Amino acid sequence: MRIATWNVNSIRTRVDRVTDWLSRADVDVLAMQETKCTDAQFPAMPFAALGYEIAHVGLNQWNGVAIASRVGLDNVEIGFDGQPEWQALAEARAIGATCGGVRVWSLYIPNGRTLADPHYPYKLEWLAALRDSASKWIADDPSLPVALTGDWNIAPTDEDVWDPAFFEGSTHVSAPERAAFQAMVDAGFTDVVRPYTPGPGVYTYWDYTQLRFPKKQGMRIDFILGSAALSERVTHAEIVREERKGKSPSDHAPVLIEVS
């Protein structure tokens, strides 16, 4: 089974690119982030034409997460227990479903904005709540294959950014954010992609400005973290950098794993 994650940065803008890649890459399950539309606006028909079911949560033109699956879409869950709200408002940042026996979560972790912004402690609170819920999932059923996929908005190590000095004093690389990512690893989840895509210089995101992509000035912030029951079944992984090229690309590339 082939499972992928992709911050599509507006599904209505990029539906043709996404479905074309799904077809070419023979993907069974795709977790999407930043769909930027309501449920009613999601362009489900092109996915249905390829045999995919869709689970989506979107509340407005911001955020939005989805799962497209052609191997089943069961026990859909919007949000997780304890998921924080932003200033008393729910956000569309997490959706889970069981696809071909794997519990897949599409996650769009808050950006944090700046270290002084209220969005930064919200981000840390959100990550702590995710860790607590995810720890419980695998404690309750250690045999459950869980894939925590998505845009984590964290570069866990210095090799995950093109220039650590450039990001000094910024979000994505701060010690508390990196500690929150490590806490997920300590809770029993493994970055199942990195062994197949070692760095430095291996990125999943390149800003649209300053010719960051052709200059190879990116960040690795999109991950698939697997429970032990999933990690032992991963046989291949890749970052599909080519999909960052061409006309009207997302600023992120898909991340793909194969599971036996």
Binding-site annotation, residues for Mg(2+): 7, 34, 151, 153, 251-252
Report the C-alpha gap between 212 and 186 in whole angstroms.
33
Q: In what order do the strands lie in the sheet with 102-108?
A: 74-78, 94-99, 102-108, 146-151, 222-226, 190-191
Q: Which of 60, 56, 65, 69 is nearest to 29 (CA)?
A: 69
Is 56 designated active site? no
Instruction: Give the count of beta carbons closer than 10 Å to the beta carbon of residue 133.
Output: 17
Please pick, among 52, 56, 108, 205, the residue that the annotation labels catalytic.
108
Would you say 153 and 111 are in contact if contact means Cβ atoms under 8 Å apart?
A: yes
Is 120 designated active site? no
- The annotation places the binding site at 7, 34, 151, 153, 251-252
Please pick, among 52, 172, 222, 252, the residue that the annotation labels catalytic.
252
Question: 146-151 and 102-108: which strand pairing?
Answer: parallel
**Residue linked to tokens 């956000």:** 91
Question: 29-33 and 2-7: which strand pairing?
Answer: parallel
Is 108 designated active site? yes
Please pick, among 151, 160, 191, 222, the residue that the annotation labels catalytic.
151
Return the structure tokens found at 256: 């793909």
CA distances from 9 to 87, 141, 200, 215, 244 (A): 23, 34, 25, 21, 12
Catalytic residue numbers, as ranges: 108, 151, 252
